[in-house]
Structure 1
Amino acid sequence: MDLGVISVRYARALLKSATEQKIEEQVYKDMASLAECYMEVPELRSSIDNPMLSGEKKMHLLTTALGNNPQELSKRFVVLVMKEDRENALQFMANSYITLYRQQKNITRGKLTTASAVSAATEQKMKQMVEAKTQGTVEFTTEVDPTIIGGFILEYDTYRMDASVKSKLNNILVELKK
């Protein structure tokens, strides 16, 4: 069976259970922590995939990756996944849960890239603009990238507004070459 299909099925079941218990937001934080650990600590995947590592040690690693004070449901979910020998798909299950939760709660991810740090008020204004456009909640991140020289790049969903000085200069250069 396809790894993606399996991951989504497990994630749906977890979301349904979490919603029934009214703890879907806390489980979302647990799954986000787990997904982040997989991204930031590449050794986690190789450790979980290692057949020589005992199930108890894998369980300890995964429970730690769930973050501080994880929900009992999240821990039981990891136990179930381990029992079914599906731990190699756990990263995908966590990411699928995150995606399903965001769809259910109408949450959009947004990103603002600027040449230098912006004030909290400016960041909040951009976030409110995106929320007004999407009619939902926005998980907003900011990034400083001096290579864009000035201006900003705003991204959310499939939308991208590039108002950076670098892109403007590149456009002028392209026009001059014609």
Structure 2
Amino acid sequence: MSDTRVASRYAKSLLDLAQEKGMLEQVRQDMLLLDKTVQQNRDYQLMLKNPIIKHDKKLAILKAIFGGKVTDMTSLFLEIITRKNREAVLESMPAEFEKQYNLKNNIQTATITTAVPLDARLRDEFSELVARKTGKTIQLAEKVDPALIGGFVLTIGDTQIDDSIKSSLQRLRNKFNDQTYISKL
């Protein structure tokens, strides 16, 4: 079974348990901390996947890193995963937890890419627009790509709306090249 599927199952179990115990938001914050640690520390990623490092040593490292920073529920969950020799899933489990949390709470993630950072007014307008279109609460992620020149690229799930100047220029260039090619015939 792939690590992603295993991570998804562990994340679902943790989410259900946290919800049952009324600790969903605290555990979500723990998962965000775990995800941040994974994303910012390559040595941590390698340690989780390294079969040479013994599981008790990995557990000691996890306790040293997260001890006192996460809830007792998350700490015990990390211990269970380590005892079952599944530390490698800790890399993808926070993202799987977040996906299932968003699904359970009807939250849609959208990514907006612009040439310059958005101000608060535009951020709110995009959030409201996407919320009206999807009927869901929106979690807007922002990216800046100066190569767009202007405009935006909005990605919601599998849908992408590209209203950037870069793409408009590319479409115009393609149209011009097509017409030039046709006129040569």
> Structure 2 length normalisation: TM-score?
0.85
Is contact 2:55–2:83 with CA below 8 Å preserved after alignment?
A: no
* Superposition deviation, residue 86 in structure 1: 0.9
Residue aligning to 2:14: 14
User: Is 1:104 matched up with 2:104?
Assistant: yes
Counterparts in 2 of 1:65 and 1:163: CA distance versus 1, 3 Å: farther
Aligned to 2:37: 37
Indicate whether 1:86 and 2:91 are aligned. no
1:144-163 → structure 2 map (5 Å cutoff): 144-163=144-163
Tell me, yes or no, if the aligned pair for 1:30 and 1:66 is still in contact at 8 Å. no
Does the aligned pair in 1 maintain the 2:55–2:85 contact within 8 Å?
Answer: no
Report the 3-state secondary structure (helix = DSSP H, G, I; strand = E; otherwise coil) of the residue aligned with 2:163: strand
Comparing 52-61 with 73-82, greater Cα deviation is found at 52-61
Tell me how far 1:58 sits from its aligned partner. 2.5
> What is the match of residue 172 of structure 1?
172
Partner residue, 2:75? 75
CA distance in 1, matches of 2:81, 2:95: 15
Give 5+ residue unaligned stretches, structure 2: 179-185
Moved more, 5-14 or 118-127: 5-14
Q: Tell me what 1:125 maps to.
A: 125
Q: Deviations over 1:97-149 (max 9, x none)?
A: 22111111111111111112221111111111111222222111222211101
Aligned twin of 1:113: 113
Secondary structure at 1:128's aligned position in 2?
helix
1:29-52 deviation line (CA, Å, top 9, x unaligned): 211221232222222121123345
1:45-80: CA deviation from partner (whole Å, max 9, x where unpaired):
211233454545523543566598322211111011
Q: Does 1:139 align with 2:139?
A: yes
Any gaps of 5 or more consecutive residues in structure 1?
none
Would the aligned equivalents of 2:18 and 2:24 in 1 still touch at CA under 8 Å?
yes
Change (3 A) 1:16 1:134: same
Partners of 1:115 and 1:67 in 2: how far apart? 41
Change in 2 beyond 3 A, CA 1:29/1:79: same
Task: Tell me the percent identity.
Answer: 28
**Count of matched residue pairs:** 178
CA distance change for structure 1 residues 170 and 27 in 2, over 3 Å: closer, same or farther? same
Structure 2 Cα separation of the partners of residues 98 and 119 of structure 1? 26
Is contact 1:34-1:67 (8 Å) kept?
no
CA contact (8 A) 2:110 2:140 kept: yes
Question: Which is greater in Rg?
Answer: 2
Which residue identity lines up with residue 93 of structure 2 in the other structure? M
